[in-house]
Chains A and B, each alone.
Chain A
Amino acid sequence: MHAHADAADTAPTWPDDIFAALQRFDVRQVPYVPDAGHAKLINRVLTSSTMRGISLTTEEEGVALLAGAWAGGQRGVLLMQSSGVGNCINMLSLIPILRFPFLTLVTMRGEWGEFNPWQVPMGSTTQGVFELSGVQVLRASNAAEVPAVLEAAASQAYNALTPTAVLLSQRLIGAKVFTK
């Protein structure tokens, strides 16, 4: 364990739990802006035969992509880090207007032992931005609760068309360590 995180030294297995849940819900398109916290999940997606990982230049592209995917009959999930949530704000308006299933998994920065002050403003407003935009927020703070949170989030997003964001807390991921 390093100084700021509860995360274990060994490779975490919670990304595998997320991948399994996404598979179970027949998620096909996985747009993402890379984040260290999502690295293992992105690798699983990119080697999957049923999911397509789609690297974005900015996060709002993913919101629009998921609308198109649903028009064409496919479910998707958007992977990003908390700083990307602000980039999405106007595009989030598509969700209530078009009513397509929206699920996003957000790795958090700017909390729990953050080193970089530049991450803090957006990290502090991530949940508020989602809620003001009509997206329900669930949070996973430790590895043990990831499967249940993912199951609940995917169920309500895909079965009840409830726009949902899962915040994967920095405590779960481990604060990024900067070394000279």
Chain B
Amino acid sequence: MSKANLLDRRQVVSTLLANRNDVVAIGGLGASTNDMCAAGDHARNFYLWGGMGGAAMIGLGLALAQPKLPVLVITGDGEMLMGMGSLATIGLQKPSNLSIAVLDNEAYGETGGQTSHTSAAADFVGVARACGINDSRSVTTMADVEAFAKAVHDVSAGPRFANVKIGSAGLERILPTRDGTYILNRIRGDLGFQPI
């Protein structure tokens, strides 16, 4: 099954991070974290290799701790489905500096391409809005991606959510570091925090 006009995930993520400045970015378990690395390693990249369903909540904890910093979660539809309740938690807290972009290929790409709930039924844009995330967008063009990337820097108008329909083509794996302690402490160091 192929659909026309689906966006290229690598191009989407590079655009989201192109002028990132002080953005802290969290990549959900799966291809999203690789996409973030492919766009260029960065001290403020929080790569996840596990904890499926936790990406948005890591974003919330960071956003509440650093309310002046833009925090961007980039994850996949399968990862977001596992943590769908966190959209209700975020909708309640309304962190104005948190943005979430779901790269939605309607499939579990890492495990053989099994179709996900978004292929036929689940509508994240509706879910996020119904959970109180009023700025909830369906992103279908690169112009939409660019507009969302710009909005991420407005730390007074979030939370915001974008569901980005992407193609399901398999891409070369570009793997970030798997050392979680390094990843986390690199972020802390870049934010000016000392080791314990």
Contact = CB atoms under 8 A, between A and B. Distances in A.
Interface of A: 28-29, 52, 54-58, 60-74, 76, 90-91, 93-94, 97-101, 159, 161
Contacts of B55: 64
A54 B88 CA distance: 11
A11 B83 CA distance: 36
Contact of A68 (B62, B89, B183): B62
Nearest to A94: B51
B54 A63 contact: yes
Given A58-B85, A98-B180, A100-B184, A64 B57 contact: yes
A97 B179 CA distance: 8
Contact of B196 (A55, A98, A161): A161
Contacts of A67: 51, 54, 58, 61, 184
Contacts of B188: 70-71, 73
Given A54-B89, A61-B89, A161-B196, A73 B51 contact: no
Given A61-B86, A74-B65, A68 B60 contact: yes
Main secondary structure of the interface of A (DSSP, over half): helix
A68 B92 CA distance: 17
A94 B55 CA distance: 11
Given A64-B54, A73-B191, A94-B54, A99 B184 contact: yes
B58 A71 contact: yes
Contacts of A64: 51, 53-55, 57-58, 61, 83, 86
Contacts of B66: 72-73
Contact of B180 (A56, A61, A68, A97): A97
B62 A93 contact: no
Contacts of B85: 56-58, 61
Contacts of A76: 61
Interface in B33-80: 46, 50-55, 57-66, 69
Contacts of B69: 72
B83 A61 contact: yes
B40 to A, nearest CB: 20
Contacts of B63: 68, 72
Given A54-B93, A65-B58, A70 B184 contact: yes
A64 B86 CA distance: 10
B184 A71 contact: yes
Contacts of A56: 85, 89
26 contacts: A55-B92, A56-B89, A57-B85, A57-B86, A61-B57, A61-B89, A63-B54, A64-B53, A64-B57, A66-B61, A69-B65, A71-B62, A71-B187, A72-B63, A72-B191, A73-B188, A73-B193, A90-B52, A91-B53, A91-B54, A93-B51, A97-B50, A98-B180, A98-B181, A98-B183, A99-B181
Contacts of B88: 57
A29 B61 contact: yes
A11 to B, nearest CB: 27
Contacts of B86: 57, 61, 64
Given A93-B50, A98-B184, A57 B89 contact: yes
